[in-house]
Structure 1
Amino acid sequence: MNKRVVSLLAATVVGASVLTGCGAGAGASGSTVSGGTSAEGAVINIYSWNDEFRTRLEAIYPEVESTSSDGTVTKLKDGTEIHWIINPNQDGVYQQKLDEALLNQASAANDDKVDIFLSETDYVFKYTDADADVAMPLEDLGIDPATDLADQYEFTKTTASDQNGVQRGSTWQCCPGLLVYRRDIAKDVFGTDDPVAVGEKVKDWDTLKGTAEELKAKGYFTFASYADTFRLYGNSISAPWVAAGETTVKVDPQIMNWINDSKEWLDAGYFDKTVKGQWNDDWNKSMSSSSKVFAFLLPAWGIDFTLNPNWDGESGMWGVTNPPQEYNWGGSYIHAATGTDNPEHVKDIILSLTADKDNLIKISRDYMDFTNTVSGMQEAATDASFASEFLGGQNPYEYFAPVAENIQIAPLSSYDQGCVELIQNAFSDYFQGNVDYDQAKANFETAIRERYPDVTEIQWAE
C-alpha cells in the first residue's frame, strides 16, 4: 500500500503500517458475494459516531426483533445480532477507532470483523478511495447503482464513489440547506414573515448584503457567525483541495472569497462578534429567544438536532426560505467493509435503508430527515401532512426539494476534513483580531502539514 494511502487512512493512528493487511487482502477471509456465500456470521458489527443510524434502522428495517436497554445490541428475527460500536466524532476519536479496527480486519475472527461503517461527507472520500479499498464496491455486494439506486439524488451517488466512479457507499440522507429565519424579526424589519417575500430579500449575496443593512439598522445580526456561511462557499470550489495523486493543497478562490467577505461582514456588524465559530455555547445561545440573530443556514438535520433544542420560545417562530445559493451540508454514508463475513445481511440493510422509497418516506415523516429519493421528496413537497409545527405549519420540503435538485457537489479529496476544519480555525483568529492576515495563512500552512505530513506545498488563490 502506498505511503499516501497509509498517511490518510491512519492520520489519527500511530504507526505507518496501521493499514497493512487492509485493502484487497482484507477480503480474503470471511464470506464473499460473488461465487456464492458461505454461512453468514452471528454478529454484524456497525461503526458509527452516534445513534442516528440505529434509530432509523430500527424504525423501518423489517428484520428487527428487539434492542437491548442500553442500545448497544439489536437482535434480528433470524437470531443475528447487530453490535453498535459508537465513538464520538470529536477530536477524531471515531476515525481513530475505526481505522484501528480496519487495521485488524484481515486477521480478526469473523464475528469481530467490521461489517458496516459510516462516514460523513467531510471525510467520505478517505474511505471510498480505491487504493485504500476498505469500503466494498456496491456491485460486489450485488447492488447495481444504476437500477437499484436509480431514484437517488445523483450528487449523493457521486459523493459515495471513488476516484474511478465506482460507488462504494449509499445514504438515506440528502442534506440540502435552506435559510432558516426568525418570523418575529422578519415582521419587525420587513413587515412580513411570508417565506416568498423573505426569500426575495435573501435571494443572492448582493441582495442579502443590502438586507443585512436593514437588519443592522433595527439592531439585528444577519447571521450569528462567519462560520455560518462557510459551507456555501466551500460547496462552490471548482477543484479539490488536493488533486488525485498530488500532495499540493490548493486554496480555491471561493475560500478566499469567504475569508474576504467574512472580514467585511464582521467589521460591518452583520455578524455577532461575540459568537466565535459554531458548536459552542455562544452559538447555541444565538438560537434562543433573547438573541438578535435573524437567520441560520441549515439543512433539515440542523433544524431538528440543533435549532429546535436550543430554541426556548414559542413554537412556530421560525420559518424557512431559499438560501442565497444552493448548498449541501452533511450526509451519513453507509459502507460495507471489505472483508465482512455478513455480505448478504449488509446488502439487505443498505437496500432497505437507502433504496426503499416507502422506508425513506417514513424516516422523513418521523424524523424530518430529507431523504434520498427524488420522487419521494417531490411528493413530500406537495403533501400538507409534512407541515412542521416548529416552523409555524410550513412544509419545509417545498423549499428543500428544489435546492436538492440543483446541488452540484464540490470536488472531493481525502484531505477535505482537515482542510475545512483548519482553514476556519486559522482565520477565526484573524477575524477576531488575534493575528494578522499573513500570520493566519502561515498558521494554516503549519497546521495542515502537521495533520497531513505528506503535504509538500500550499498554493493560495490570488
Structure 2
Amino acid sequence: MKKRITKLMALLLTTSMLVPMTACSTSKKSASDEHVLNIWCWNDEFQSRFNDYYPEVKKVSKDKSKTYLKDGTVVKWTINENKDNNYQNKLDEALQEQDEKDDNDKIDIFLIEADYALKYVNSSSTLDVVKDIGLTKKDLGDQYKYTKDIVTSKGVQKATSWQATPGLFAYRRTIAKQVLGTDDPKQVQEALGDWNKFNEVAGKAKTAGYQMLSGYDDSFRVYSNNVKQPWVKGDTVTVDENIMNWVKQTKEFTDKGYNNKTSLWSDAWSKDQGPDGKVFGFFYSTWGINFTLMKNSLANPDGKAEVGNGAYGDWAVCEGPAPYYWGGTWLCAAKGTDDKKEIKNIMLKLTCDKENMKKMTENPDIQDYTNTQSGMEEIAQDPKFSSSFLGGQNHVALFSESAKKIDMSNTSKYDQGCNEKIQTAMKDYFDGKVSLDKAKKNFETSIKEVYPNIKKVKWPKD
C-alpha cells in the first residue's frame, strides 16, 4: 500500500511539473505564430508597387524582406533572380512540395512573365481568379483584353496584372533632326510607318554617321508579335515567315553597318543608349522606356534624373512600323494557399482599382502604364500629363493606341524556348560564321533538346 501511494505521488509530481512547461511552450508558440503570406518574384518591381500602393500596408522591414499589413499578416518576400531560368527552377521545385508544407510556408502568390505564362496557366499549380479567388467579370472589365487573353486557357483566367506593356519606338531627338530634319513624333512616325520606310531611313542614318539599331535582337519582338501562327502545333515547330523577315532584315543591317552588332542587355547595347550613343532608336515597351532606357541615358547614373544629365530629355517615342508588346508581369494565386481572401483584395486593389493604378502612372518617378483602359484614356487626354524624359511628350497617348492593336491569339507555351533559340542560332549567321542553312540546322537541334516532344521543324516554303 505504501509503495502504491509513493508511485501515485510521483505521478502527480511529474504531472504538476509538466503543466507549467506545457503552458510555457504554448505561450511561446503563440508569440511567434505569425500569419504569413508568401510572395515569390524575380526582382523588386512588384514588391515596390505593393509596398507603395497596397492600402493595407502598415510598415516594411528595414531589409524589405517583410511587409506588415494592418490586420497582422506578415508578407514574406522570396526573390530569386531570373537568370538561366533560376527563378522558374526554384519556383517549380517549391510548387512540387506545396502539399507537404505548413500553411505559413506555402507559396500564396507567385509572379510570371509573358514568355512562359502558359506553362503555369495550363498547370494545376494556379487557381482560377474568378471561380477560386472571387474576382468578377465586372472587376476585370476595364483591363486590356490581351492581358487577360495571355493568361486564359479554355475560358479560365489564371492570373491578373497591374500593367499593360505595349511597345513603341524610342528615338534620339538630336539624331532624328540630323537624319530626317525633324524630331516631331508625328513626322518621325510618318517616316517610319512600315518596314520598307524604316529600312530606308536606316540607310539615311548610316550616311549621316549613325546606326539605325544597336544590335541583332532589337527588332525581334516587333516581328515575333506579328506572326500568323503559333510556334508549335502537335509535334511540329513552324517558323513563321515574319520570323524569317526579321532574319533577312537583321542580316542586311549587320552587313551594311546599319546596326552596332550588339546583343540585348550587353554592356555595349546599354552604352548605345547613353549620351555618347550613335544609335537612332530602340524598340521598347512601357517599362523599358521608363526604367531601362532612362537609366542608361544618364551620364551620371547616381545623379538626379533630369535634363542636363546625359541624354535625359533628348528622347521621344512614336508607334514605329508595327504594333507589339514586350514583357509584363502577372500575379498567380498558388494552389494550396489559405489566403484567398487576402489575395482577392490584393488583386482588386493593385490590378482592378482604376484610381489606385492611375496614381502609379501619374507618379513622375514611375509612370508605369497600368492595366486600366479608361484610366489610361483619361491620362492620354490630360494636357497636364507629360514625361520630362521624353522632352515633354505625353507617351501614354501613344501607348493607349498601340495597346488596342495587340493580338495574342498565336501565343503558345513554347514561346520562350523558340524565341530564345532562334535568336541564338541566327547570331552566328549574322556574324558570318555559318551559312543560313547551318544556322537553321543548329536551331532544329537546339529546339529538340529543349522540347523532346518536337519531331519536326518546318520552315517557310518547305
The reply to whether TM is greater than 0.5 is: yes
CA–CA distance in structure 2, aligned partners of residues 191 and 234 of structure 1: 31
Determine the structure 2 residue equivalent to 1:228: 218
**CA apart distance, 1:212:** 1.4
Match of 2:130 among 139, 142, 148: 139
SS in 1 for 2:99: coil
2:238–2:459 contact (8 Å) kept in structure 1:
yes
CA–CA distance in structure 2, aligned partners of residues 419 and 459 of structure 1: 13
CA–CA distance in structure 1, aligned partners of residues 316 and 383 of structure 2: 16
1:310-347 per-position Cα deviation (integer Å, ceiling 9, x unaligned): 11214311111121111010110110011111111111
Matching of residue 56 in structure 1 with residue 56 in structure 2: no
Match of 2:147 among 144, 153, 156: 156
Letter in 2 for 1:188: Q
CA–CA distance in structure 1, aligned partners of residues 230 and 142 of structure 2: 27
Letter in 2 for 1:437: L
CA–CA distance in structure 2, aligned partners of residues 219 and 350 of structure 1: 49
Q: Which runs of 4+ in 1 moved over 4 A?
A: none
Matching of residue 303 in structure 1 with residue 296 in structure 2: no
Determine the structure 1 residue equivalent to 2:187: 197
**CA apart distance, 1:186:** 1.1
**CA apart distance, 1:269:** 2.3
**CA apart distance, 1:92:** 0.3
Determine the structure 2 residue equivalent to 1:267: 255
1:3-38 per-position Cα deviation (integer Å, ceiling 9, x unaligned): xxxxxxxxxxxxxxxxxxxxxxxxxxxxxxxxxxxx
SS in 2 for 1:377: helix
- Where do 5+ consecutive residues of structure 2 fail to align? 1-32, 300-309
Determine the structure 2 residue equivalent to 1:177: 167
CA–CA distance in structure 1, aligned partners of residues 83 and 351 of structure 2: 26
CA–CA distance in structure 1, aligned partners of residues 119 and 406 of structure 2: 22
1:179–1:322 contact (8 Å) kept in structure 2:
yes
Letter in 1 for 2:251: K
**CA apart distance, 1:454:** 2.5
Which is worse superposed, 326-335 or 248-257? 248-257
CA–CA distance in structure 2, aligned partners of residues 136 and 239 of structure 1: 28
CA–CA distance in structure 2, aligned partners of residues 292 and 385 of structure 1: 32
1:88-131 per-position Cα deviation (integer Å, ceiling 9, x unaligned): 111000000100011101121111111001100000010001xx
Determine the structure 1 residue equivalent to 2:105: 112
1:177–1:400 contact (8 Å) kept in structure 2:
yes
Greater Rg by CA: 2
**CA apart distance, 1:356:** 0.2
Letter in 1 for 2:146: F
Cα–Cα, structure 1 residues 41 and 235, in superposed 2: closer, same or farther, change >3 Å? farther
SS in 2 for 1:45: strand
Match of 2:246 among 258, 264, 281: 258
**After the TM superposition, which residues 296-335 of structure 1 pair with which residues of structure 2 at under 5 Å, given as runs?**
296-311=282-297, 312=299, 313-335=310-332
Determine the structure 1 residue equivalent to 2:24: none
* RMSD (CA atoms): 1.5
2:133–2:340 contact (8 Å) kept in structure 1:
no
CA–CA distance in structure 2, aligned partners of residues 316 and 66 of structure 1: 35
Determine the structure 1 residue equivalent to 2:18: none
2:239–2:457 contact (8 Å) kept in structure 1:
yes
SS in 2 for 1:117: strand
Match of 1:248 among 233, 236, 239: 236
Letter in 1 for 2:267: D
1:384-409 per-position Cα deviation (integer Å, ceiling 9, x unaligned): 33311111111111111101111112
SS in 1 for 2:219: helix
Determine the structure 1 residue equivalent to 2:91: 98
Letter in 2 for 1:108: K
1:228-252 per-position Cα deviation (integer Å, ceiling 9, x unaligned): 0000111011221123xx2322211
CA–CA distance in structure 2, aligned partners of residues 342 and 316 of structure 1: 45
Percent identity, aligned pairs only?
46
**CA apart distance, 1:75:** 0.7
CA–CA distance in structure 2, aligned partners of residues 417 and 234 of structure 1: 11
Letter in 1 for 2:77: W
SS in 2 for 1:428: helix
Cα–Cα, structure 1 residues 190 and 295, in superposed 2: closer, same or farther, change >3 Å? same
SS in 2 for 1:441: helix
- Where do 5+ consecutive residues of structure 1 fail to align? 1-39
Cα–Cα, structure 1 residues 41 and 375, in superposed 2: closer, same or farther, change >3 Å? farther
- What TM-score results when the alignment is normalised by the length of structure 1? 0.88
The structure showing larger relative contact order (alpha-carbon pairs under 8 Å, at least 6 residues apart) is 1
SS in 1 for 2:217: helix
**CA apart distance, 1:442:** 1.5
**CA apart distance, 1:145:** 4.8
SS in 2 for 1:65: strand
**CA apart distance, 1:253:** 1.4
**CA apart distance, 1:295:** 0.5
Determine the structure 1 residue equivalent to 2:433: 434
SS in 2 for 1:298: strand
**CA apart distance, 1:410:** 4.7
1:271-291 per-position Cα deviation (integer Å, ceiling 9, x unaligned): 123x2x201111001111211
Determine the structure 1 residue equivalent to 2:20: none
SS in 1 for 2:326: coil
SS in 2 for 1:330: coil
SS in 1 for 2:427: helix
Determine the structure 2 residue equivalent to 1:339: 336
Determine the structure 1 residue equivalent to 2:23: none
Determine the structure 2 residue equivalent to 1:385: 384
Determine the structure 2 residue equivalent to 1:11: none
Cα–Cα, structure 1 residues 252 and 314, in superposed 2: closer, same or farther, change >3 Å? closer
Match of 1:128 among 121, 126, 136: 121
How many residues align? The count is 416
Determine the structure 1 residue equivalent to 2:458: 459
Matching of residue 284 in structure 1 with residue 281 in structure 2: no
CA–CA distance in structure 1, aligned partners of residues 131 and 78 of structure 2: 25
1:63-108 per-position Cα deviation (integer Å, ceiling 9, x unaligned): 0011111111111111111111100111000000100011101121
Determine the structure 1 residue equivalent to 2:176: 186
CA–CA distance in structure 2, aligned partners of residues 314 and 301 of structure 1: 18
